[in-house]
Structure 1
Amino acid sequence: MNVSAGRTARSGSAQKPKARLGALAGVVAFLAFVEYTSGFLQGYYTPMLTDIARHLRVPDADVNWLEGSQLILSALVVPALAKLGDMVGHRRILLWSTALTGLATLALPFAPNFAVFLVCWTLQGFYVVWLPIEIALLWVRSRDIKLRSAVVAKAAGLLVAALEVGAISGALLGGQLIDSLPLFPVLLIPGVLVSVCFVVIAFGVKESPEPTGGRLDIVGLTLVTFAILGFTGGLSLMRLHGFESPLAWGVTLLGLLLVWPFARWELRHPDPIIDVRMFRSPALAPVFITAALFGISVLGSQAPLSTFMRTDPEVYGYGIGAGGFTTSLAIGCYLIGMITGALLFPQVSRLLTPRITLTCAAVLVGIGYLMFLPMHDTFAQVITNMIITGIGSGALVAALPAAAAAGAHESQTGVATGLTNSSKTMGGAVSSAVFGIALMHGATGAAADATATAGSFSGYVTVWVVCGGAALVAAALLLFIVPKNAFQDRPASPAPAAVGGARP
């Protein structure tokens, strides 16, 4: 980090002081349970996606609708909730979003058909705001701590590690239970955990100091909502009607065009819901772009990886043919890689720089996905690829919100961390639609005589190439565009106000 020399060793060489959590340790412990719950939700259902598809009588390609619907909800609610966190308090937003997540999760087992299940699953996605809101809360509460960026980065690594431990626990438990119990009782368990999470936040987390107050920019929120709905709705129509659909392209283009009046309004508003000047900041714009490219792989590829593992090679000529528990083991290895990456990031950053470390992490993600092209025939090959990808992904998940907090004005911390999640979500929404189209054509060859529920092999190749290529583009962006001293502690100065200006 860019800090003073600190203590001097007996040999006379300068050593960098270590970043310590100190007074933040207590709140980090409670927030770690919140992230454990978030990870549990993300990991628990993955081994049983094929079973859910069979129960609801839909093909594997339609599983991407579940993933895509939560991504759309995330893109819609995170900007508003992130801004509200700055205005009324981050703990309050955590409680609201947890209550909504819990109600939707408890309703999932009772869904009678795919449409109702999709609605409940979508509303469950309010948990996506937890991590950016938590990082914003920690950033605000650490304003008097030395090595602030390093401390928040370390806390973020611990939260992501807790998230991935929860995902491993959820994947292992979900994979084991789905092989031995009916689907209904299996789907009841996550709702109980979210209820406990609500109690933990209510009694264990104190409110962030000095909320900014103000009034919510309703016009800006409406404009950005229609823009996101138009863009993501067009992508959904492409999934239904293919890339040749004029209607799909028209709706997508309309969503993109609505960004212009939204940006114009936000530039004139004294307290915008999203300060679009952030996208011109050399410290923040590359973070948002990197998050969008990263979202392509970390969000868009989850369902395809699971269904590829479950596809029977004796029937379709490709896949691993794994059961639910074996699939959860593979997911567990991937998540262990993410834990390793999240915990190593602050340590490696001290030896190199945050920018170089993030670049290396993106390269690892790209290499891991591109390795699927020659290595996808055995369980060991798939595991190897997923571990490499996981190490890079863990570092990026932990580092991007902290990097945004470090580059944003104090009054815009929640918005900046929320925008990393929104950018990541938009990347995931695009890739989910593209991957769904690529997979929906069904299997060929041997599968022609079977029930055509599996995705096509060419679709899986598309997933691997797009994810790997996007990660390498992100690495190039971090290496050549981002300022060399980005994401590091800087002396106090009025410079951050250039992002959006101090607001009254």
Structure 2
Amino acid sequence: MTTTSPARAASLGVSASLIGWLFCVELTSGILQGYYVPLISDIVKHLDIHDADYNWFDAIQLLVSALVVPILAKLGDMHGHKRVLLVATVITAGATWWLAFAGSFTTYLIAFALQGFYVVWLPLEVALIFERGRRSDSGVSQTRRAAGLLVVALETGAIVGALLSGILFTSLGSLPATLAVPAVCVTLVFFAILFGVPESEPLPGRRLDSTGFAVLAVALLLVTGGLTLLRLNGPGSVWVWLLIALGVLAFLPFGLIELRKADPAIDLRVMARPTMWPVITTAGLLGISLLGAQAPLSTFAGTDPANGYGLGLPAFARSLLIGVYLISMIIGAVLFPLVSRWATPRWALIIASLLVGIGYLLFLPFHAQTLQVLVNMLIAGLGSGALMGALPAAAAAAAPRGQTGVATGMTNTTKTIGGSIASAVFGVVLLAGASTTVTSTAASLTGYITVWLICSLGAFAATALLFFVPKSAFADAPAEG
């Protein structure tokens, strides 16, 4: 008969409780991501703005997300991940309440930007789980399973949020009252974290590299700002390329500064490890399809077949299509730990990336019927769902103690940057040739094919990079005392 040491039993008990509370947090995160989409037309009318102006809200929130995640993740490593998670939740709750009563474009823009602090939740949660799991000899596999469950909560919340907002607005008839519901959810989550989540154990003697973070913020601000202008003004604007070029050049002094620091903002030597850089790069490549391709998929499904392509689905049918895609992501997140146990974590990552590439590649010959599009999305969704939870868990396993939050945060940051680049490029690609279509709002088929091809090539590139990961990477290690 096998026995379990008291330390391991305590660790397993704490992890189970921790995962339960954090499941609620990610459920709320999903609600935030899905809740506002069905209400976009009503929000536009409420604010008395044009439909195109709503793009600014998404753009500024992505910008804020890219800026704050590295800083908050490092502060979590320094002062405790729970403490920073609480701070991010307070800011998110305040911003969500502000959204409920915002009556102008400017106030809604600021509130929506500040709500972007919620993107640091998942990296901090994975860091919390992994730091607790260090006390167990199965800490890495525990983190993989837990991260998969958090992705299940996230995607379930997105489905619930999308359905709930439409139902509530129809029954309440008041936009402020409808928008107050997610604010209540975030407020309750604060108390769930406060009373239910144990704190991690940060290493003493850490310092915040303010100079490094300032240079990094400037670089990210310039690049994402240039990408935003690319999406809004097109590639003909000189400012687009000037901002992007200055942002890329700003990473050079950032690297020089970080390599001289004893406690850098981001330890580039750690990021260059063979267990780390393929994972971080894969996260960026995943952002291309995960964040950049969802809007093109939705518009293609709604395009009138009179153009010679498109499915012509009404809004409700499109929402069902997206719902099936989200369910496939949930299945992928659940299956990843099982595949990791059957093969290895490295091979599970490779298979997941390969599925994303195959799913989008199938769009090239098979896109004429709804069933074909559905099958393609199911295949890509399985891989995307697996990678969403697996990548931060893999980064946590590859990071030395004291840098878990930064490592998991980097997967989120690169994913956001990849999605921002893809979103801007896809907007330009879809606009090119649109004048040849029958309906005035439709994009060109060549543009859609280009989008799918870029998503597929990005996933296949990630598959190739993951072969550079050592074969025994991300396996369980002996417990730490």
* Matched residue type, 2:337: P
Residue of structure 2 equivalent to 1:463: 451
Match for 1:483 among 447, 452, 470?
470
SS in 2 for 1:273: coil
- Residue by residue, what CA displacement relative to the aligned partner does 1:84-118 show, whole Å, maximum 9, x if unpaired? 00111111111111111122222224444545433
Deviation at 1:384, TM superposition (A): 2.2
CA RMSD of aligned residues (A): 2.6
Matched, 1:190 2:182: yes
Structure 2 equivalent of residue 264 of structure 1: 256
Paired with 1:322 and 1:123, the residues of 2 have a C-alpha distance of 34
Alpha-carbon offset, residue 188 of structure 1: 3.2
Larger mean CA deviation between 173-182 and 370-379 belongs to 173-182
Q: Which runs of 5+ in 2 are unaligned?
A: 3-10
Correspondences of 1:41-190 after superposition (within 5 Å): 41-49=32-40, 52=43, 57-59=49-51, 64-177=55-168, 184=175, 185-190=177-182
Give the letter for the 1:447 counterpart. T
SS in 2 for 1:281: coil
Which consecutive unaligned segments of at least 5 residues does structure 1 have? Answer: 1-5, 8-19, 494-504
Q: Give the letter aligned to residue 231 of structure 1.
A: V
2:439 aligns to what SS in structure 1?
A: helix
1:306–1:327 CA contact under 8 A, matched in 2:
yes
Query: Which whole-Å CA distance do the structure 2 matches of 1:488 and 1:215 have between them?
Result: 30
Q: Report the equivalent of 1:250.
A: 242
Note if 1:472 corresponds to 2:460.
Answer: yes
Q: CA separation in 1, counterparts of 2:422 and 2:104?
A: 26
- Answer whether contact 1:79 1:419 (CA < 8 A) is retained: yes
Q: Distance in 2 between matches of 1:314 and 1:180?
A: 34
Q: 1:275 — aligned with what?
A: 267
Distance 2:180 2:295 in 1: 21
Describe the shift of the 1:443–1:112 C-alpha distance in structure 2 as closer, same or farther (beyond 3 A): farther
Deviation for aligned residue 1:260? 1.1
Residue equivalent to 2:419: 428
CA contact (8 A) 2:137 2:476 kept: no
Contact kept? 2:300, 2:311, Cα under 8 Å: yes
1:482 match: secondary structure? coil
1:286/1:397 Cα in 2 relative to 1: closer, same or farther (>3 Å)? same
1:82 offset after TM fit, Å?
A: 0.3
The separation in 2 between residues aligned to 1:254 and 1:486, in whole angstroms, is 36
What do the CA deviations read for 1:249-305 (whole angstroms, capped 9, x no partner)? 121111111111111111112211111112321110111111110111111123333
Distance 1:462 1:359, change over 3 A: same
Determine what percentage of the aligned residue pairs are the same residue.
52
- Partners in 2 of 1:335 and 1:314 — Cα distance? 25
1:355 counterpart (346, 349, 370): 346
- In structure 2, the CA distance between the partners of 1:113 and 1:226, relative to structure 1 (3 Å rule), is same
Match of 1:376 in 2: 367
Secondary structure of 1:35's counterpart equals: helix
Q: Alpha carbons of 1:461 and 1:402: their partners in 2 closer, same or farther (altered >3 Å)?
A: same
Distance 1:141 1:274 in 2: 22
Between the aligned partners of 2:377 and 2:54, the Cα distance in structure 1 is 21
- 1:398 Cα offset (Å): 0.9
Distance 2:332 2:64 in 1: 28
Contact 1:179 1:324 in 2 (8 A): no
- Is the Cα–Cα contact under 8 Å of residues 333 and 385 in structure 2 kept in the other structure? yes
- Tell me if structure 2 keeps the 8 A contact 1:234–1:251: yes
Alignment coverage as a number of residue pairs: 469
Q: Tell me the alpha carbon deviations over residues 5-29 of structure 1, each in whole angstroms, 9 at most, x when there is no partner.
A: x98xxxxxxxxxxxx9443100110
CA contact (8 A) 1:37 1:197 kept: yes
Which amino acid in the other structure matches residue 199 of structure 2?
A: E
Deviations along 1:188-207, one digit per CA (max 9) or x if unpaired, are 32222111111211221121
Alignment of 1:209-228 (within 5 A): 209-228=201-220
For normalisation by structure 1, the TM-score amounts to: 0.86
User: After the TM superposition, which of the residue ranges 458-467 and 216-225 deviates more from structure 2?
Assistant: 458-467
1:83 touches 1:415 (CA, 8 Å); kept in 2? Answer: yes
Give, as a single letter, the amino acid of the residue that structure 2 aligns with 1:427.
Answer: G
Partner residue, 1:502: none
Identify if the C-alpha distance between structure 1 residues 447 and 420 changes in structure 2 by more than 3 Å, giving closer, same or farther: same
Structure 1 SS opposite 2:264: coil
Question: Could you tell me which residue of structure 2 aligns to residue 437 of structure 1?
Answer: 428
**Deviation, structure 1 residue 49:** 4.3
Question: What is the deviation of 1:177?
Answer: 5.0
Deviation at 1:138, TM superposition (A): 1.1
CA contact (8 A) 1:47 1:328 kept: no
Q: Which letter does structure 2 place at the counterpart of 1:483?
A: P
The answer to which of 386-395 and 163-172 deviates more is 163-172
CA contact (8 A) 1:47 1:324 kept: no
* TM-score, normalising length: structure 2: 0.89
Q: Deviations over 1:131-184 (max 9, x none)?
A: 110111111112210122111111111111111111221223235556777571
Whether the aligned pair in 2 keeps the contact of 1:172 and 1:325 (CA below 8 Å) is no
Q: Answer whether contact 2:135 2:479 (CA < 8 A) is retained.
A: no
- Match of 1:313, as an amino acid? D
